């Protein structure tokens, strides 16, 4: 299942599933390394009388959410069989790498009872299960998991007494027939095996006597470090401040961060504002402190092809940064651009995707195809970095970073963009497209290159490099003419997805694709140009999903995560799975063209549609099942949240402007 809740401080990220089980545990980078296995979970269970229930059994009912405007969870789990209600408030300390779970436990019974709370941790240090040690630390009254430079200490205490865990055990897990020490908890007692090595796990227990209707608070935490001294330092920090003060610090920081711009929605219900604030927080949760913006840390996608979205795609990051810059979050954008600076090749382009530490990520783009070498790149990823840098400068007027990145980014990428041109058409050479499935000359890619060249020209002007400004502007104007000449189909009366040569004859791929919206978004033509209007009308008419789910598909016949069965057939009514970003792209065009408040009805409906697709905690997926409305692929998708942030700002600005007429 997709992530239902995610908390982080930019170094340590933890995510929880729909039953509040800890599923992903990234450290020391957001998105790298995951010390959990995607198919496993860190269990939480409760023993009352003769009854025992883990959180993942059907006897629990859940309400999952955040405290408003924070990355502090605020969820409840209720079990009528146990007579318990448990409030979970999950967060990562902003200044130290410690995950906290605050459990406010209420005895819903009229009888006194002993309640035992168990937490089982099944770490996969460095992503695998071997050579680990799990041991009881008597001086810290906690259980330590470690291997090489990864140390995780499980600890906790009752808020009113300060007493720590009552029992513990360590043991073998996921090895031969050994399921794990969580089985030891199910009789309500742990056997206190003090150390184990190899393929290990651990379980700790906290016991209390509850009076009728009594509520008590338990804090459990996992401190992370790269050595034992880090663990001791984190332990002493908790003992000095106490979990309650640490929680207050964390809550206050995120509340200030999410509202620092002072932006208020206009013409939209209050739910739009809350999701706007929460979307910014989700974007930040997927951003590493060293700059990388991760597509998604949801590891469930591993089931699809044994790989994840836990990479930094330059394109995704650049478009996300455009929204962040417009929202006033300049520091995040600056760090991202400095991260990308390190990834630019000597020839002036970036490659497919990168790990959070800046190393090259996995790829499916070959360097050799059909007996010929080729560049394994997507040209838009390089071009959009310049668009993002210009957006940052335009919004912040930060001349220092524009100058700092002028030579290593503007000149390097800009000159490559201008040179990577087919002399026959003036269009860019073929590269892989936005959806990373085909290699061709795409309208989308050519439009982003135009946008990149224009950004280079404007950045050259801003920094006083006027000869470079003339060079980039001339290259952009030539490309603009080529796009209109070769990528607009007079036969179809709209822009085509791509052009390609077939025996020296230029052919059109007439597939309707939502990415064609970038023709106007990058400024190749204005949004009210007849050619753009024809294209956008085709996108609306042919990509709308005509089921109760609604939304827009990426392109006609999209097969990515397609649901294949006889009952659910894809057709003209269902051209593909609906995506959040594509639906909002159409809304952006409708907002841009609106001249009356009545014209804003259609984009408002798309914003409300997006709000309805978020889970109870405000997490948006990548795409949806067009028949069941269930999230597909990953959740959260950082790009979905950033696009929502951008669309709501555009809508609110236009609403205010039209309201004054």
Q: Report percent pLDDT > 90 for the chain.
A: 93
Mean per-residue pLDDT over the chain, rounded: 96
Instruction: Give how far Cα 645 sits from Cα of 70, 268, 397, 620, Å.
Output: 16, 13, 21, 12
Per-residue pLDDT at 354: 98
Query: Is the predicted pLDDT of residue 207 greater than 60, yes or no?
Result: yes
For the segment 554-582, the average pLDDT, to the nearest whole number, is: 86
Express each pLDDT in 167-195 by its tens digit. Answer: 999 999 988 888 999 999 999 999 999 99
Instruction: Give how far Cα 457 sits from Cα of 330, 340, 390, Å.
Output: 21, 20, 10
Express each pLDDT in 378-427 by its tens digit. Answer: 999 999 999 999 999 999 999 999 999 999 999 999 999 999 999 999 99
Per-residue pLDDT at 568: 66
Helix (H, G, I), strand (E, B) or coil at 72: coil
Which region among 35-49, 118-132, 505-519, 551-565 has the lowest average model confidence (pLDDT)? 551-565
Q: Report percent pLDDT > 70 for the chain.
A: 98
Regarding pTM above 0.75, the answer is yes
Query: Is the predicted pLDDT of residue 2 greater than 80, yes or no?
Result: no
Per-residue pLDDT at 419: 98
The token duo for 395 is: 């919004």
For the segment 147-157, the average pLDDT, to the nearest whole number, is: 98
Angle (CA) 356 375 369, round 5°: 115
The token duo for 81 is: 């069989």
* Residue 410: partners with Cβ closer than 8 Å, 6 or more residues away: 386, 389, 402, 456, 459, 460, 468
Per-residue pLDDT at 491: 95
For the segment 289-294, the average pLDDT, to the nearest whole number, is: 98
For the segment 65-89, the average pLDDT, to the nearest whole number, is: 98
Per-residue pLDDT at 315: 98
Query: Is the predicted pLDDT of residue 565 greater than 70, yes or no?
Result: no
106-132 burial code (b ≥16 CB/10 A, e <16) = bbebeeebebbbbbbbbbbbbeebeeb
Q: How far apart are CA 366 and CA 355, in angstroms?
A: 19
Backbone angles phi, psi at 314, to 5 degrees: -55, -35
Q: How far apart are CA 568 and CA 587, in angstroms?
A: 27
Per-residue pLDDT at 300: 79
Q: State in words which class domain 5-257 has.
A: mainly beta
Query: Is the predicted pLDDT of residue 566 greater than 60, yes or no?
Result: no
Per-residue pLDDT at 304: 67
How do strand 60-63 and strand 75-79 relate by DSSP bridges? antiparallel
């Amino acid at each position: 299942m997709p992530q239902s809740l995610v908390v982080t401080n930019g170094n340590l990220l933890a995510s929880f599933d729909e039953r509040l089980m800890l599923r992903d545990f990234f450290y020391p980078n957001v998105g790298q390394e995951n010390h959990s296995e995607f198919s496993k979970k860190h269990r939480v269970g409760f023993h009352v009388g003769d009854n025992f229930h883990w959180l993942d059994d059907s006897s629990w009912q859940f309400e999952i959410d955040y405290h408003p405007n924070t990355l502090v969870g605020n969820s409840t789990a209720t079990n009528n069989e146990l007579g318990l209600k448990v409030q979970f408030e999950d967060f990562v300390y902003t200044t130290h790498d410690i995950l906290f779970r605050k459990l406010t436990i209420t005895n819903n019974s009229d009888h006194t009872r002993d309640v035992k709370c168990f937490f089982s941790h099944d770490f996969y240090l460095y992503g695998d299960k071997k050579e680990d040690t799990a041991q009881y630390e008597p001086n810290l009254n906690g259980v330590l998991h470690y291997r090489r430079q990864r140390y995780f200490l499980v600890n906790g205490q009752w808020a009113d007494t300060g007493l720590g865990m009552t029992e513990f055990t360590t043991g073998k897990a996921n090895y031969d027939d050994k399921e794990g020490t969580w089985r030891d908890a199910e009789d309500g007692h742990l056997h206190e095996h003090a150390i184990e090595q190899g393929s290990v796990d651990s379980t700790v227990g906290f016991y209390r006597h509850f009076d009728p209707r009594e509520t008590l608070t338990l804090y459990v935490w996992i401190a992370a470090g790269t050595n034992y001294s880090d663990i001791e330092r984190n332990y002493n920090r908790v003992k000095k401040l106490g979990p309650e003060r640490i929680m207050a610090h964390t809550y206050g920081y995120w509340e200030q961060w999410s509202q620092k711009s002072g932006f208020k929605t206009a013409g939209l219900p209050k739910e739009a504002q809350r999701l706007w604030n929460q979307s910014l927080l989700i974007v930040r949760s997927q951003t590493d402190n060293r700059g990388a913006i991760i597509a998604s840390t949801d590891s469930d996608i591993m089931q699809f092809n044994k790989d994840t979205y836990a990479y930094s795609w330059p394109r995704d990051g650049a478009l996300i940064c455009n929204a962040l810059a417009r929202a006033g979050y300049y520091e995040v954008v600056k760090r991202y651009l400095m991260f990308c600076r390190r990834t630019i090749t000597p020839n002036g382009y970036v490659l497919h995707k990168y790990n959070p530490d800046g190393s090259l990520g996995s790829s499916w783009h070959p360097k050799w195809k059909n007996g010929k070498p080729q560049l394994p790149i997507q040209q838009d990823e390089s071009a959009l970095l310049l668009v993002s840098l210009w957006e940052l400068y335009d919004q912040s007027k930060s001349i220092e970073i524009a100058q700092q990145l002028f030579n290593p980014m503007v000149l390097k990428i800009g000159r490559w963009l201008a040179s990577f041109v087919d002399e026959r058409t003036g269009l860019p050479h073929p590269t892989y497209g936005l959806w990373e499935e085909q290699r061709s000359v795409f309208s989308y890619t050519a439009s982003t290159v135009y946008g990149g060249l224009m950004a280079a020209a404007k950045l050259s002007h801003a920094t006083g490099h006027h000869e470079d400004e003339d060079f980039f502007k001339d290259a952009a104007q030539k490309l603009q003419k080529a796009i209109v000449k070769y990528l607009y189909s007079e036969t179809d009366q709209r822009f085509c997805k791509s052009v390609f040569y077939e025996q020296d004859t230029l052919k059109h791929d007439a597939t309707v694709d939502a990415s064609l919206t970038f023709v106007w978004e990058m400024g190749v033509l204005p949004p009210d140009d007849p050619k753009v209007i024809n294209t956008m009308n085709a996108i609306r008419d042919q990509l709308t999903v005509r089921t109760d789910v609604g939304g827009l598909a990426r392109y006609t016949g999209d097969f990515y995560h397609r649901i294949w069965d006889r009952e659910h057939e894809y057709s003209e009514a269902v051209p593909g799975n609906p995506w959040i970003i594509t639906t909002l792209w159409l809304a952006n065009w409708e907002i841009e063209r609106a001249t009356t408040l009545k014209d804003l009805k259609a984009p408002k409906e798309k914003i409300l549609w997006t709000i309805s697709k978020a889970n109870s905690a405000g997490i948006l997926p990548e795409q949806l099942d067009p028949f069941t409305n269930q999230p597909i692929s990953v959740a959260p998708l950082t790009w979905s949240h950033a696009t929502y942030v951008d669309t709501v700002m555009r809508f609110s600005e236009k609403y205010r402007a039209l309201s004054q007429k």
